[in-house]
Amino acid sequence: VRLIEDISRETFRTGGIQKKWGGPWFFIALTNPADIEYVSKNCLEKDLLIMKSLKGLTGDGGIFAPVSIWSKKRKVIIPAFSPKILNSFMDIFSRRSANLVDKLKELSGTGKFDIWPIINNFTLASIAETSLGIRNLEGMNDVAASDFLKSVEESFILASNRTFSVWLWPDWIYKLSWQYRHFKKHNDNIINLTNNIIRKKRNDLKHVDLNAYENQTIFGQDDKVDSFLDHLILLSQRQNGFTDTELREEITTFLLAATDTSAVAICNTLLLLGKYPKIQEKVHEELVRVFENDNEKLYKDLLSDLKYLDMVLKESLRLYPPVPLITRKPTEEITLPSSGYTIPVQTGIIISIWGAHRDPNYWGPDADCFKPERFEAGGKTGFFMPFSTGPRNCIGYQYASFTAKSALASILRQFKVVTEEEDGPIPKIECKFSIMLKSKHGYPVRLERRNH
């Protein structure tokens, strides 16, 4: 993380560009908004030399697929993230959030605890149900659920370690290491689970009328079609269908990306609100105003009314973007609009989201401060891209927002989050980079029940 911060802050002083060497590999780091937008639109290939460890998790899933494969798949996948389908999952978000609150009630008033594993289980359970149709992780049996969660976590850690261990970049060296053996074991666990589910889903969907499915005005009416996997199987049939391998790659990509991304966003926001209790009280006042009673279910329209919570979440994502950098590799020379500098073919490009979100040249002198009001309507903001930008942006950003806002609204209606308060506007959260940007010391909080 220190490396990401140092390089990013150097770019603030040099027009938003830095040229660096990582071992024998040359790369360009960018934080200038004009350059980032240009590269994101005109340079779509990912740099797999830097991020190849992640491709071991996702195969040719949408995040790291070559453009030729990505463009074909994206046409099928985009409809699966339509508002119509996302709205059909609202009951799942509501029920999962209520279950989360019940678990937290058992821990409220018991002193400080790390909320990360509970939130991580919540996001995994929500995503397992919406993406794979698994009604509850316990349905996989406790051992399988525990092994699966451990494999997801360990795969991320091992992939991250390789990313920052230049000597492990060559495949032949990596495959001789203990890290590769551990990574393969955990990755095989994930693959085996998803393969079993895909086979069962294909069998369950054999008799679904494709025309009737496509003409639905409200998804979720057919109890046979209740997950992203179901939708991908059916939506892809018009284009000769996805193979089992392609389905597994897309679902694994979504499962791995969404679980940690949402959990990190929720936990960072809770930690920040604990550090700034006055801001937390403003969030709670809004929740009391929007929800008529303690037991009122979450609905999309109600979440849309939580304007201040939305500002808080955006400010959390600005300061601590779960994915702090993305990569590109040009297939032809490109010239940066800000400086006229020409980047040669096959040069690694690192787009620092962390840097773009903290550049005082665009966000002002208080760029490092926690200030949700900067996102008020009509307010002056800099370049905000927590879910990337351009044609290869994250297509699941609305899903991630739904998940995070559902959990935050449910928790903050019932509990006051208490952590060590900050003595100034700049939060002191020491982070580590484990594919996602996480708090190095976990997320220790105390919860106090609210008396409404």
Residues flagged as binding site: 394
Q: What per-residue string of b and e applies to 210-235 under the rule 16 or more CB within 10 Å gives b?
A: eeebeeeeebbeeeebbbbbbbbbbb
DSSP one-letter string for 134-191? -S-GGGG-HHHHHHHHHHHHHHHHHHHHHHT-GGG-SHHHHTTSHHHHHHHHHHHHHH
CA distances from 417 to 109, 269, 291, 414 (A): 11, 10, 19, 10
Q: In 251-264, which positions are buried (b, 16+ CB within 10 angstroms) versus exposed (e)?
A: bbbbbbbbbbbbbb
Binding residues for heme: 394
Instruction: Say if CB 167 and CB 179 are below 8 A apart.
Output: no
Integer Cα distance of 390 and 39 in angstroms: 9
Conformational region of residue 141, where left means phi above 0, alpha means psi within -120 to 50, and beta covers everything else: left
CA Rg value for the chain: 22
Sign of the CA dihedral with 388 first, then 394, 400, and 401 last: positive
Distance in angstroms (rounded) separating the CA atoms of residues 117 and 149: 10
Identify the three-state secondary structure at position 353. helix
Rounded-to-integer distance, Cα 147 and Cα 145, Å: 5
307: tokens are 């304007």
